[in-house]
Amino acid sequence: MAYVSMKKMLKDARAGHYAVGAFNIVNYLTAKAVVDAACDLKVPVILQTSVKTVKQFGIEEFMSFLRPICENASVDVAVHLDHCTDKEYAKRCMDAGWSSIMFDGSKTPLEQNIKDTLEVKDYISGRDISLEGEVGSIVGVEDDIVVHKDDAAYASREDCEKYLKETGVDCLAPAIGTAHGVYKGEIKLNYDLFKEIDDISPIPLVLHGGTGLSDEMFGKLIDLRASKVNISTAIKIAYCQGMYAYSSANRDENDPLKLDDYVYKRIYALAFKHINFFTLRKGSINDE
Ligand SMILES: [Zn+2]
């Protein structure tokens, strides 16, 4: 298959009433584990990179090892820059080969968000790169972007309508009560708002803050046509806990390849069960 943008895979997902999993990978091992799981399930997948992670490797260096993983995959794979608030950085990633960009202007007033999104869209001009936007503020911490509970704002249907009409983005993340990080307290999702926005949207909607939602919540939102589901915190937890568990149980081994193999298997299993549920509606997200 191919290294592609998210455009067709999300359109197909919306029409087919399933969602494509988008996983925030942090290095080669996590990227390979996610793509291998998608290949074994024979469904498309999105590798998401936070700006913080890209900066850790360097733009060109990161793409140099992501691209072969995508191009050698037996399914369609997109590489998506998550929550980028810096237009110039987004442009540099596009030039280096990212096939998809999220420009996050949600912390600015709607008019400014629209203006900045349009500037990023203009830069795409003719290239097959997809663009995701955000309206409303999703609570929590993602990539050092902190949105406090008091500042979190549900997206309004009117704002989404205006944003969609004026920007022509390829997919939209409306804030409907999901959060980045680990949920504290009761999760309050506004399904009615999600449906209202989907009804007026010509393009697929994206669900952020997927870690911690129940099978029922995911199922309901996918039934309401959520077409892309972001999983970030669960990957971080599986990675760090995997490292810790293996090292603790094998204190004198000092074999990096065996350690990597163990962590790879944990990430693969995590991605597999999420993709299996999102796309094929099989299994459970929350089994152990
Ligand atoms: Zn997010």
Residue pair 46/20 in contact (Cβ under 8 Å)? The answer is yes
Give the per-residue pLDDT at 271: 98
Give the per-residue pLDDT at 183: 82
Extents of the domains making up the chain: 7-232+271-280
Per annotation, catalytic residue among 82, 116, 159, 170: 82
| Spatial distance between the Cα atoms of 246 and 248, rounded to a whole number of angstroms | 5
Span 53-65, mean pLDDT? 98
Give the per-residue pLDDT at 115: 98
Q: How far is the CA of 142 from the centre of ligand 1 (A)?
A: 6
Q: How far is the CA of 179 from the centre of ligand 1 (A)?
A: 8
Neighbours of 126 (CB within 10 A): 5
Based on the residue annotation, tell me whether 40 is a catalytic residue of this protein: no
Q: Which CATH superfamily is domain 7-232+271-280 in?
A: Aldolase class I (3.20.20.70)
Question: Exposed e or buried b for every residue in 186-212, given b needs 16+ CB within 10 A?
Answer: eeebbeebbebbbeebebbbbbbbbbb
Q: How far is the CA of 174 from the centre of ligand 1 (A)?
A: 10
pLDDT digits (tens, 9 = 90+) for 143-168: 665 566 555 578 899 999 999 999 99
Span 239-267, mean pLDDT? 98
Q: How far is the CA of 102 from the centre of ligand 1 (A)?
A: 9
Span 107-112, mean pLDDT? 94
Which residues keep their CB under 5 angstroms from ion ligand 1?
Answer: 142, 208
Give the per-residue pLDDT at 142: 66
Alpha-carbon separation of residue 280 from 25, 85, 186, 265, 269 (angstroms): 22, 33, 28, 21, 16
Give the per-residue pLDDT at 177: 86
Q: Which residues are annotated as a binding site for Zn(2+)?
A: 83, 104, 134, 180, 208
Q: Which residues are annotated as a binding site for dihydroxyacetone phosphate?
A: 181, 209-211, 230-233
Q: What confidence category does residue 1 fall into, taking pLDDT thresholds of 50, 70 and 90?
A: low
